[in-house]
């Protein structure tokens, strides 16, 4: 963590309502990355080395991406790119605009380095998002769109909701993540069942062209269910999987842990890695996995990659450690590759499985 961040920013953020702090951080990044001078400053302070890789037929300057939910409305894409992320996932976006759940709906536990959120897909809806994306400069790094289901849409019509968002926003992004794993839209996770998932994937594929479509899963599923989702998604031609979303389980009974919603950060780390390993073993390491959940340093990142993740993402550790975590993770991975005598990231993927 940057010393400046831990001394100056973190104590203030700790006093502030979590969502307000989040909005200010995004605004700050947007403003800083607006000018050439600001971007130069961000590069000097934060930009990591290149750790190149190729997945989904795309080139990544490094395997670390911004996880969904941090920049729901794609407001600071240039900022994330300048900070040195290898790719960005914006959203979740639903067909219809919605406010999400009543506030407060985002909670921090510094004791656990964890967040609990029950945002409920607050987002501008696919038509406004498409208009916004059409006016933005497209980042030079791969851009994925996280797609959810509107609360007003029934489970029977869910596939139409997902498909509409992909149809409208599709031209402006490089790939799609079907989110059937948020715990904060009633019954959404039921859509992880085979027939429902298949219907959604097929409807999305009518509009996705040859861009990769991935499925994002929950960590709270049984192993059998996970394998079944993998088989369904893979057989229908999905490009890979994002593992995992937030968990509804809790590490202990401290008061903050009684808040409803999805838990992310350190307590999610080992379960997320377990799910990644399960999927990598089930697919013999032949199907790309984006690993996400509790990554806060290069050791955590290495563990995800060594167990089968081709790419990785972070959300919570950005909140607790600031933007310097990007450089820490990517430069640490670079050092790790070199110390093990590996020449590229590809050689590290699944290395703990003996791939
Ligand atoms: C406030 C908040 C909002 C989120 N919104 C979304 C979302 O819209 N779609 C999604 O797929 N995941 C969402 N996530 C989950 C993250 O993308 C990620 O899977 C999870 O936080 C685990 O990563 P982490 O431990 O690095 O935070 C959200 C997480 C947080 C904390």
pLDDT of residue 55: 98
Second CATH level (architecture) for the domain 3-353: Alpha-Beta Barrel (3.20)
Distance (Å, rounded) from C-alpha 136 to C-alpha 78? 9
pLDDT of residue 148: 97
pLDDT of residue 186: 84
Quickly count: other Cβ atoms within 10 Å of residue 231's Cβ: 13
3 state SS of 351:
helix
Q: Is 295 in the pocket of ligand 1 (CB under 6 A)?
A: yes
- Side-chain half-sphere CA neighbours of 319 within 13 A: 31
Nearest CA to ligand 1 atom 5: 69
Work out the pLDDT band at 188, boundaries 50, 70, 90.
Answer: confident
Q: Where are the domains of the chain?
A: 3-353
User: Is residue 185 over pLDDT 70?
Assistant: yes
| Contact between residue 210 and residue 204 where contact means Cβ atoms under 8 Å apart | no
CB contact set of 259 (below 8 Å; sequence gap of 6+): 107, 116, 118
Please choose, from the candidates 18, 157, 153, 181, the residue with its C-alpha nearest in 3D space to the C-alpha of residue 92: 181
Q: Is 321 in the pocket of ligand 1 (CB under 6 A)?
A: no
Ligand 1, from 19, 65, 67: best to mutate by most atoms within 8 Å of Cβ? Answer: 67
Ligand 1 centroid, distance to 170 Cα (angstroms): 21
Distance (Å, rounded) from C-alpha 63 to C-alpha 65? 7
User: Is residue 272 over pLDDT 60?
Assistant: yes
Q: Out of 33, 61, 150, 182, which one is annotated catalytic? A: 182
Indicate whether this model's pTM tops 0.75. Answer: yes
User: Is residue 75 over pLDDT 90?
Assistant: yes
Nearest CA to ligand 1 atom 1: 117
Ligand 1 centroid, distance to 54 Cα (angstroms): 24
Distance (Å, rounded) from C-alpha 218 to C-alpha 182? 7
| Contact between residue 116 and residue 104 where contact means Cβ atoms under 8 Å apart | no
Q: Is 146 in the pocket of ligand 1 (CB under 6 A)?
A: yes
Tell me the CA distances in angstroms from 173 to 127, 133, 239, 289, 303, one per residue in order: 14, 8, 15, 19, 29
Q: Is 69 in the pocket of ligand 1 (CB under 6 A)?
A: yes
**Residue 182 annotated as catalytic:** yes
Q: Is 291 in the pocket of ligand 1 (CB under 6 A)?
A: no
CB contact set of 182 (below 8 Å; sequence gap of 6+): 92, 121, 148, 188, 189, 245, 246, 262
Nearest CA to ligand 1 atom 12: 68
Q: What pLDDT, in 10s, does the model give residues 8-46?
A: 556 556 656 788 888 888 999 999 999 999 999 999 999
């Amino acid at each position: 963590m940057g010393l400046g961040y831990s001394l100056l920013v973190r104590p203030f953020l700790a006093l502030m309502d979590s969502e307000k702090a989040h909005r200010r951080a995004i605004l700050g990044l947007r403003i800083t990355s607006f000018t050439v001078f600001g971007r130069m400053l961000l590069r000097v302070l934060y930009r990591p080395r290149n750790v190149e890789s190729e997945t989904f037929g795309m080139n990544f300057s490094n395997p670390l991406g911004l996880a969904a939910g941090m920049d729901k409305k794609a407001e600071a894409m240039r900022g994330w790119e300048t900070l040195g992320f290898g790719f960005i996932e914006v959203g979740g976006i639903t067909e219809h605009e919605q406010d999400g759940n009543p506030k407060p709906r985002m909670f921090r536990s510094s004791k656990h380095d964890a967040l609990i959120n029950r945002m409920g897909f607050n987002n501008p809806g696919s038509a406004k998002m498409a208009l916004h994306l059409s006016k933005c400069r497209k980042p030079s790094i791969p851009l994925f769109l996280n797609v959810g289901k509107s609360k007003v849409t029934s489970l029977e019509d869910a596939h139409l909701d997902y498909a509409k968002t992909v149809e409208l926003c599709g031209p402006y992004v490089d790939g799609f993540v079907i989110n059937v794993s948020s715990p904060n839209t009633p019954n959404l996770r039921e859509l992880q069942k085979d027939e429902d998932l298949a219907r959604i994937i097929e409807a999305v594929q009518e509009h996705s062209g040859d861009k990769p479509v991935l499925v994002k899963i929950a960590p709270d599923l049984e192993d059998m269910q996970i394998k079944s989702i993998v088989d369904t998604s893979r057989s229908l031609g999905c490009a890979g999987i994002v593992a995992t979303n937030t968990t509804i389980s809790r590490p202990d009974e401290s008061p903050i842990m009684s808040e409803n919603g999805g838990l992310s950060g350190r307590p999610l780390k080992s379960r997320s890695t377990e799910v990644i390993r399960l999927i990598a073993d089930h697919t013999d390491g032949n199907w790309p996995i984006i690993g996400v959940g509790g990554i806060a340093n290069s050791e955590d990142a290495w563990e995800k990659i060594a167990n089968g993740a081709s790419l990785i993402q972070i959300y919570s550790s950005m909140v607790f450690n600031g933007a310097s975590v990007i450089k820490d993770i990517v430069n640490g991975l670079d050092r790790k590759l070199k110390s093990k005598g590996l020449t590229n990231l590809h050689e590290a993927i699944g290395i703990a499985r003996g791939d």
